[in-house]
Amino acid sequence: MKFGKFELPVGERVLVMGIVNVTPDSFSDAGKFASTEKAVEHALRMAEDGADIIDVGGESTRPGSEPVSVDQEISRVVPVIREISRKAGVPISIDSCKPEVVEKALQAGASMINDVNGLRGEGMAELAARYDVPVCIMHMQGTPKEMQKNPSYDDVVKDVKSFLKKQADYAVKKGVSRNKIIVDPGIGFGKTTEHNIELIRKIREFKKLGYPVLIGPSRKAFIGNILNAPVGERLAGTIAASVVCAVNGADVIRVHDVKEVVQALRLAETIIR
């Protein structure tokens, strides 16, 4: 799959996407990388540690979070993306559901769209088609502010799969190339612990849609609930979840702890092969 000037072997091995939150209120590293300098330094370290893609976001999507303005989000992510694209030899993804932010990010050097709103925003699919970049379509029930209040499904796997198929079909109708679409069941976005476990168990169901699958289990609440561990003590759980996701068919794993997860995945892949 081509990401601007980069080409990644999607499907040949599990790719790792490193998370850079340029926000003061993200659920796991609030404010730690809020400055451009610290965010860029963090991104470069992730690239050295084996990240295949760097995912930059300027708006927290933790449960209960409030949205930020377009201008504020642009001011957070664009300087970071511009610097990373100059210094790192890996593609950059923009984690945003606002077309205005995404376009500025793509102009600054990003070459992938990671949309937690699943291309439901007006103009987002057309934007992905116009720039001809990979786009990750994620499922989220509700909005970050209220998504965890009472998530419910008739059948979580069928319901999420149906949404992803519908949005992928919509993207294609809007001109997005089929070979530029990635789908994400949205672990932790409007799901209970049981829902998340079921989605991870059934990753191969989403593979049947014909697109690569991205999974983001990193430091999520379901790990804390199972292990009775606060956010800062979920590394072991993240590694375990990431390996299980890979074994179950995930193509891209989105994580905070790149070095440790890359090592775990490479070992697991070597043993399995």
Residues 6+ apart with CB under 8 A from 47: 18, 54, 88, 89, 90
Burial class (CB in 10 A: 0-12, 13-18, 19+), 272: exposed
Each residue's pLDDT, cut to its tens digit, for the chain (273 residues) gives: 999 999 999 999 999 999 999 987 554 555 566 688 999 999 999 999 999 999 999 987 777 667 789 999 999 999 999 999 999 999 999 999 999 999 999 999 999 999 999 999 999 999 999 999 999 999 998 777 676 777 889 999 999 999 999 999 999 999 999 999 999 999 999 999 999 999 999 999 999 999 999 999 999 999 999 999 999 999 999 999 999 999 999 999 999 999 999 999 999 999 987
Report residue 224 as tokens: 């804390």
22 near 80, Cβ under 8 Å?
yes
Rounded Cα–Cα distance for residues 224 and 219 (Å): 8
Q: What pLDDT shows up at residue 33?
A: 66
What is the DSSP-derived secondary structure letter of residue 10? Answer: B
Dihedral, 28, 66, 79, 119 alpha carbons, nearest 10: 100
Go through 27-42 and write b for each residue having 16 or more CB atoms within 10 A of its CB, e for each that does not: bbbeeebbebeebbeb
Bridge partners, 7 (sequence order): 2
Q: Which helix (H) or strand (E) holds 44?
A: helix 36-48
- Domains of the chain, by residue range, sit at 13-272
CA distances from 128 to 105, 106, 111, 173 (A): 12, 10, 10, 12
For residue 75, the tally of other CB atoms under 10 A from its CB is 15
Q: What pLDDT shows up at residue 24?
A: 73
Asked if the 13-272 domain carries CATH number 3.20.20.20, the reply is yes
Q: Which helix (H) or strand (E) holds 93?
A: strand 92-95
Rounded Cα–Cα distance for residues 185 and 242 (Å): 14
Closest CA to 265 of 20, 17, 8, 3: 17
For tokens 């409007």, the residue is 190
Catalytic sites, residue numbers: 220, 254
Q: What pLDDT shows up at residue 25?
A: 54
pTM over 0.75: yes
